[in-house]
Structure 1
Amino acid sequence: MVAVTALAITDVLASSSGIKGLLDPMHLLTETWLSNAVLPAILVIVFIETGLLFPILPGDSLLFTGGMLAAYTHPPVSIYVLLPAAAITAILGDQCAYWIGRAIGPALFHKQDGRFFKQRYITETHAFFEKHGPKTIILGRFVPIVRTFMPVLAGVSQMEYRKFLTFDIVGGIAWGGGITILGFWLGNVEFIRNHVEAIFMLIVLVSILPGIISVAKKLRNHEPVLETESDVVPTNESLR
């Protein structure tokens, strides 16, 4: 199925619609080869976007469209199958990306500072995930590109796996299951259908706005974003 999905995506890219067609989930699920395997297509694309560092796929709108198709009189996929399958696939994708990050993390921790890379980038990333990780893991699910690289950064910074897994399950269910069921319930509302990604990004922006304001104030006043040295430099114990 992965090969079939890749061929369908390649076919879309080669057509006149190009990237625009690739980013149109209704086109992908109804007008390409994937129309004969809607459920596997959705799951493969979700896994590729969340687990294999491929950020340009239409995650939010794909799940929303899948839920909308499941509401048809003769649906290509049952909502009772799609809902748990989408959530589980989203979680598994993040696990793959996390362990990719863990695999490349040690090399980065021992990499010498260069023009574009500094060791403090890694230590500060580790400190960020230790302090704000749970909220980032959940809310980051709803932001394109962020949801692709967030689990990799969590792995690179060696965030405690049990903590990552716990909140990733929450985020996977909220994103994979939540957007799918919204598509099932609200897919016939044209405004919501046409602006689903913008709506979710606005919700996330409002949620993190207080934190952005706080960081902006500290930067303006030339204060450290992380309050203590122990927040910035991880201990050996925290990196295990």
Structure 2
Amino acid sequence: MGFINFIIELLKDPRAAIASWIAMGVAPTLGFIFLIVFIETGVVFFPFLPGDSLLFAAGVFAAPDAATGQVALPLHYLLPVVWCAPIIGDQCNYFIGHFFGRRIIESGKVKAMTPERIEKTEAMIEKWGPLAVFLGRFFPFIRTFMPFISGISGMRWRRFTPFSVLGGFIWSSLFTLLGYFFGNIPAVQQHFELVIVLILAVSLIPTIVGLLKAKFGKKRSGDDSAADAGSAVPRHAK
């Protein structure tokens, strides 16, 4: 229950979570940030961890305080940590998929790995090839499943890795620097929880749209097939 409560609090208010870590010191804070981003990316069982909002909140603490000019979390320490975490996580997840992926899917233990999400991830790989690894980095859930499915699909490691590294680097830099440059704006500070919700919503929109398109596209395709089958029956057979 302790771990579940920890995750719930992190999802609700990553800024408060990071503030509590900073009270323990910079090194433990960086360790927690690395661990959470790594787990979200590298362990297929935890796609719900808040990578985007955590990076944004970390960037806020890396910016100089408007009143004192002090920095709680130095940017030159934070950036290497958030660069390494998703890159190493992707490598871990790729090899989990490569060696154990089929057994994990067949076990049904990853409840978040629904057939629709697997199908969407596989469709991205089929359409974009290794570029899908880069694009998938910016979508929650998809970024956890993408390296895993890449390992299952037989995508070669040397094709996977450059796009994985580039995606991890740009994604982590983007959200951290957004927090660094914009997190201390008074309006953002006053409505921080709303900003976090908006970040999550914007991140999830492409995934939700894709799932809805896949669902209704299938339904429409099934209806069209039924209609075609019905029209193919001779009149005298009706």
TM (norm. structure 1) is: 0.66
CA gap of 1:166–1:11, structure 2 versus 1, over 3 A, is closer
Q: Counterpart of 2:147 in 1: which secondary structure?
A: helix
User: Which position in structure 1 is the counterpart of 2:20?
Assistant: 31
Structure 2 distance, partners of 1:162, 1:144, is 24
Give the deviation of 1:87 after TM superposition: 1.4
Amino acid at match of 1:55: P
Amino acid at match of 1:69: F
Partners of 1:84 and 1:177 within 8 A in 2: no
Give the deviation of 1:101 after TM superposition: 0.1
Residue of structure 1 aligned with 2:39, choices 37, 41, 48: 48
1:65-119 Cα distance to aligned partner (Å, 9 max, x none): 111101033323211221232112111101100110001246689x8xxxxxxxx
Partners of 1:130 and 1:159 within 8 A in 2: no
1:129-175 Cα distance to aligned partner (Å, 9 max, x none): 24324443223222222222221111111222222111111110111
CA gap of 1:173–1:204, structure 2 versus 1, over 3 A, is farther
Structure 2 distance, partners of 1:79, 1:182, is 12
CA gap of 1:147–1:30, structure 2 versus 1, over 3 A, is same
Who wins on radius of gyration, i.e. which is larger?
Answer: 2
Amino acid at match of 1:31: S
Residue of structure 1 aligned with 2:166, choices 163, 170, 175: 170
Range with bigger deviation, 164-173 or 142-151: 142-151
Range with bigger deviation, 85-94 or 50-59: 50-59
CA gap of 1:192–1:108, structure 2 versus 1, over 3 A, is closer
Q: When the two structures are aligned, how many residues end up with a matched partner?
A: 202
Partners of 1:142 and 1:204 within 8 A in 2: no
User: Which position in structure 2 is the counterpart of 1:20?
Assistant: 8
Amino acid at match of 2:14: P
Report sequence identity in percent. Answer: 37
Partners of 1:125 and 1:157 within 8 A in 2: no
CA gap of 1:155–1:26, structure 2 versus 1, over 3 A, is same
Structure 1: gaps (5+ residues)? 1-8, 112-120, 224-240
User: Which position in structure 2 is the counterpart of 1:147?
Assistant: 143
Structure 1 distance, partners of 2:15, 2:50, is 10
TM (norm. structure 2) is: 0.67
User: Which position in structure 2 is the counterpart of 1:100?
Assistant: 96
Partners of 1:98 and 1:152 within 8 A in 2: yes
Q: Counterpart of 1:195 in 2: which secondary structure?
A: helix
Aligned pairs for 1:159-238 (under 5 A) are 159-189=155-185, 190=188, 194-196=194-196, 198-199=198-199, 202=202, 205=205, 220=220
